[in-house]
Amino acid sequence: MSARPGIVYTNSQMAEFERNLPCGEELEFLRDQEATLVPGPQARMSLLDIRALRSEYFYCKNKKGWYSHVCEKFSREDTVGVRWLKLRKRPIPSSIGKSWDEMRPQFSGTEYVPNVAEVSWVDTSYKAVRGSYLFSGILVWTSSFDSCDLRVYLGHPSEKGVSINAFNGPHIS
Q: Where are the domains of the chain?
A: 11-167
pTM over 0.85: yes
| C-alpha dist (Å) from residue 106 to 19, 98, 103, 125, 150 | 30, 11, 6, 27, 21
The DSSP code sequence of 63-88 is: S--GGGSTT-THHHHSEE-SSEEEEE
Any idea of the CA torsion for 106, 143, 81, 61, to the nearest 10 degrees?
120
* pLDDT, tens digit, 9 for 90 and up, residues 70-84: 999 999 999 999 999
The pLDDT value given to residue 62: 65
- Percentage of the residues of the chain whose pLDDT score is greater than 90: 51
